[in-house]
Amino acid sequence: MSQISLSRISRYPVKGLDEQSLQQTELKPGQALPGDRRFALAHGASSYDAAAPAWAKKAHFLNWARTPAIASLRSQFDASGCRLSLRENGQDVLAEVNLTEPAGRDALCAFLVARLPNETRGKLSLAEAPGISFSDVDLPLISIQNSASLADLAMHAGREVDQRRMRGNLLLDSAAPWAEMAWIGKQLRIGGAVLEVIEAIGRCPATMVNPESGQRDLETLDLLNKHYGHQDCGIYAKVIQGGMIKVGDAASLL
């Protein structure tokens, strides 16, 4: 059997926007991937309370399930994940802004309100809660995808299933298709870190969205139900032993 390896590390500094690909990062016990979903865009109808920052459900924020058009924006981040610029259709549409500064936050929100006037439901605000990742779950977990499972799903779909549809943190190569579902309750070593696999990831309509066009063009949930009898794809894991991980690292069950 081929050795399982880590082929991609991705974080999403702003929930709903494009990924930032990393070559390496340090995982810490009980924490999410550093910088992942540090910020989120609270829409005008959200009851998110910036005066008492805390994790909140994705319904409070712009996301691919409700606002697929944001997927067509290409994000460029600096190493910190705090400075952001945007491109669309090969053109610069937002010059670099600093998301830790009020002027930068306002500039991003104003751009998106102008770009998506029917989607923001009024004024946007950029949410940040120290130490919190605005992922879809209220626990600091790492999301993991198996490239072989995506390839198997693609066979049934009759077309490529871009891994970006799943918005995972880690992509593993050379595991058997859907082998990750048998890892639940077990420990997984990746590079210098050890993670405990907690549960499968139940999928939502966000996975139907094409990450290039921002259009819903693949019936992902129907395919999962029809061919596998569930809507799960990928696994959540918590870091129980911290350490550095980098692209190319081996992954193994303990």
pLDDT at 1: 46
Retrieve residue 132's tokens: 């919190």
**Measured between alpha carbons, how far is 120 from 227 in angstroms, rounded to an integer?**
36
Max CA separation in the chain (angstroms): 54
Check pLDDT > 90 for residue 2. no
pLDDT above 90 covers a percentage of the chain that reads: 97
- Tell how strand 14-15 and strand 24-27 pair up: unpaired
Q: Is 226 helix (H, G, I), strand (E, B) or coil?
A: helix
Report residue 118's pLDDT band, with 50, 70 and 90 as the boundaries: confident
pLDDT at 85: 98
**Measured between alpha carbons, how far is 154 from 97 in angstroms, rounded to an integer?**
37
Residue 138 burial (CB count, 10 A): 13
Residue 70 burial (CB count, 10 A): 23
Q: Region 68-91: what's the mean pLDDT?
A: 96
pTM for the model: 0.96
Q: Region 193-222: what's the mean pLDDT?
A: 97
**Measured between alpha carbons, how far is 150 from 225 in angstroms, rounded to an integer?**
15
**Measured between alpha carbons, how far is 148 from 146 in angstroms, rounded to an integer?**
5
Retrieve residue 79's tokens: 């190493």
**Measured between alpha carbons, how far is 234 from 204 in angstroms, rounded to an integer?**
12
Q: Is 16 exposed, middle or buried (0-12, 13-18, 19+ CB in 10 A)?
A: buried
Please provide the average confidence, as pLDDT, over all residues in the chain. 96
Q: Region 80-107: what's the mean pLDDT?
A: 96
Retrieve residue 198's tokens: 């907690």
pLDDT at 97: 98
Check pLDDT > 50 for residue 126. yes
Distance of CA 161 to the CA centre of its chain: 15
Do residues 236 and 138 touch, judged by C-beta distance below 8 A?
no
